Homo-oligomer: A and B are copies of this chain.
């Protein structure tokens, strides 16, 4: 039930491009097929073909890949304003699975709708390419995190990134944000064991850096946290419209 100017995707894209009334109208049309998905049941499965994409308007989703041995690597979490499965539409076969973490609201976008929107307004295509580039930059950060950051820096970087992403679509505040993730989600995303996640979070809390309890991430000393993480939010590209 978001009005045009309040859709999280619109809000996010406006950070990149100043969209005209006509372009906002096309974007609104992409939001028409509203659907609700229950937590815990995959929306898109790895290897499935002919998928739709979704624009997430409320709730959190995790995207992951299962390995043959049953282990799971979480690639990223999607928050309101994010596309789900844009690659599934463009690459024909989905390269990973999506599972809602809570009940979510999302608009289904068929391939034909997306291509028609691009034909009608190339600036929207550029804006969506921007959003896809930003998504890729986040996956790169997760790669660097797993490859090169110790557990504390990795966790701090990850939770700061989530906070910045949510802030862009108007969720959370300077003290923290509501977060439905479990320690198992964090473990599968960060390549740590659940026990290790627990220990890292406890140490952060005891050091007064941040706490993650009862579904909320609260910053204690955000500046210090940024320093530990080496967090430079430039890759999230939030500095106002590039295309006028």
Footprint of B on A, CB under 8 Å?
A: 16, 47, 65, 67-68, 71, 73, 75, 86-87, 90-93, 95-96, 115, 118-119, 122-123, 125-126, 128-130, 132-137, 139-144, 146-149, 191, 230, 232, 234-235, 237, 239, 242-243
Contact = CB atoms under 8 A, between A and B. Distances in A.
A117 B100 CA distance: 37
Given A75-B143, A122-B118, A139-B139, A130 B230 contact: no
Nearest to A131: B90
Give the number of copies in the complex. Answer: 2
A129 B130 contact: no
Contacts of A242: 90, 92
A109 B93 CA distance: 30
Contacts of A243: 115
Contacts of A126: 90, 115, 118, 125
Given A67-B230, A130-B90, A95 B139 contact: no
A91 B16 CA distance: 9
A147 B239 CA distance: 32
A40 to B, nearest CB: 22
A123 B115 CA distance: 8
A137 B65 contact: no
Nearest to A143: B143
8 contacts: A16-B90, A67-B230, A71-B148, A75-B144, A87-B136, A115-B126, A125-B126, A135-B136
